Amino acid sequence: MYKYDKKLPYPVNIKKKDLKMAKYIITAYGGSYGELGAALRYFSQKFGMPTEEGKNLLNSIATEEFGHNEMVCSMVHQLVKDATLEEMKEAGLDSLYTEHGRGIYPTDSNGVPFTATYFASIGDPLADLMEDMAAEEKARVMYEHLIDLATDEDVIQPLLFLRQREVVHFNRFKELYEKYKKMGY
Amino acid sequence: MLFEFETNIYDIEPSKLYGLDEGFEKGNMFPEIYEGYKNYKPKHIEPHNERESLLLRIMMLDFAMNDLNLYLALHPNDEACFEKFKQIAKNLKHCTNEYNQKYQVLELCDDTFASYSWNSNPWPWEGEHV
């Protein structure tokens, strides 16, 4: 089961609104390399892991990713919450306003809604882990693109943190992959 | 260290790990797999008051516990790492208890004080509570 903890994995405290940045960052929630896909990917794949270490690793990383979703959504929320309709129009977010107001909805930065087809779960530990390693690498690059676009330290710091978590997860998945390969799975 | 707490979390001195502050700010407790990006440097997080300072410690301990767990999943026989894990988990419990009593509860099951508080405490996404 899951329990709620009233804190974020890393502080998000953005004082300056930035509508364009919000439009970009939402992809880290609902885009193809986003945290929602990551959380659901590992959550689903954990049932197919053959050993205790694999079940633990996938379950633990899935849980962590659910926390990252809350971080990303907090960033988007803080970036848009005080925006006027005029400002949203100017930033090209009028279509976003039409669909979601100032609410949070999982899409990529082009407004394409999240879909479960962004991840797979094929029930084979090596195949699943190979996908996980690729997913972490792509998410890392997505965060690098977001960091390139960001100008506010309050935005850059949480993005750096999230990027580094992708690096750590990639390394752990790789380790498990190599172990399973040796074990003959 | 700006504020003193009843719980000393600085008695943990991991050999091949970053310290709690540095690991948290970097997003990685393990120097051997840390990979920075361009010239970006993780910033030191300055708490504004005693409450934020304690909450930050809790976040750091929680982070370190999780990151060590990912390692321990694959290295369950690393006794030195498990010792560190246990120290961190114990300190996390102490700090959380202290925070629950002084400021607000972080988990519903701890809402056992004079009046119901789960509604009235700030939610983390509002950005005002670190």
pLDDT tens profile B112-125: 988 999 998 889 99
Q: Residue B105: its chain A contacts at CB < 8 A? A: 6
Q: How far is CA B118 from CA A124, B106, B107, in A?
A: 42, 9, 9
pLDDT tens profile A84-94: 999 999 988 89
Of B28, B59, B109, the CB nearest to A168: B28
CA-based nearest residue in chain B for residue A16? B127
Q: What is the nearest CA distance from A62 to chain B, expressed in angstroms?
A: 11
Cβ atoms within 10 Å, residue A90: 13
pLDDT tens profile B45-87: 999 999 999 999 999 999 999 999 999 999 999 999 999 999 9
Q: Is B98 exposed, middle or buried (0-12, 13-18, 19+ CB in 10 A)?
A: middle
In chain B, what are the domain boundaries? 9-126
pTM, two decimals, is 0.95
pLDDT at B121: 82
In chain A, what are the domain boundaries? 19-183
Residue A21 and residue A118: Cα distance in Å, rounded?
23
Of B24, B35, B58, the CB nearest to A167: B35
CB contact under 8 A, A161 and B42: yes
Cβ atoms within 10 Å, residue B46: 9
The owner of tokens 């719980």 is B7
Topology given in CATH for the domain delimited by A19-183: Ferritin (1.20.1260)
Cβ atoms within 10 Å, residue A54: 23
Q: Residue B70: its chain A contacts at CB < 8 A? A: 57, 60-61, 168-169, 172
Among B104, B119, B125, the residue to mutate for chain A (most A Cβ within 10 A):
B125
- From the centroid of its chain, how far is CA A38? 6
- The ipTM estimated for the assembled molecules is 0.96
